[in-house]
Amino acid sequence: MAVRGLHAFDGKKTLQVAFTGPDGRRVLAPAAAGQNLLQVALEAGVKVEHACGGVGGCASCHVHVTQGGSALSKVTDAELDRLDEAPLVREDSRLACQAVILDPASSSTVAIEVEVPRWNINAVSEEA
Ligand code: FES
């Protein structure tokens, strides 16, 4: 299923998101303010499940943001409601499609660390 709003990295305001899978494989992905974590992951070839197409309707894109969470949009009540349906929710749980990278304003050295849980990775074979 296609992801709504998916767009190519435009090279502005470079940020970096590190995705670590359950096998320990780590992928560093360039990102820009305004992208959500699902978009960044798929553009970098990190296959995160996205059953609803990235509209916040399914919780299949559940990930853990272990660092840099303050660089993302705040969790909404609707996102929390969806996370209630996900397995192994923690304080750092986010729906990748709902976690939007904020404009870093004065700094371009924001690092965001994301763990992609075992139940999520490789569930979608679609290329970004
Ligand atoms: S892809 Fe369905 S909630 Fe994120």
Tell me, using a 6 A CB cutoff, whether residue 95 lines ligand 1. yes
Tell me, using a 6 A CB cutoff, whether residue 60 lines ligand 1. yes
Q: Given strand 111-115, what is the order of strands in its sheet?
A: 26-31, 15-20, 111-115, 62-67, 93-95
Q: Cα dihedral angle (66, 71, 72, 76), rounded to 10 degrees? A: 90
Query: Which amino acid does the sequence have at 127?
Result: E
What is the 49 CA–ligand 1 centroid distance (Å)?
8
Superfamily of chain region 15-115: Beta-grasp domain (3.10.20.30)
What is the 106 CA–ligand 1 centroid distance (Å)?
30
What pTM was estimated for this model as a whole? 0.83
Spans of the chain below 50 pLDDT: 1-11, 106-108, 123-128
37/98 Cα distance (integer angstroms): 8
Q: In this structure, which residue's CA is closest to atom 3 in ligand 1?
A: 56
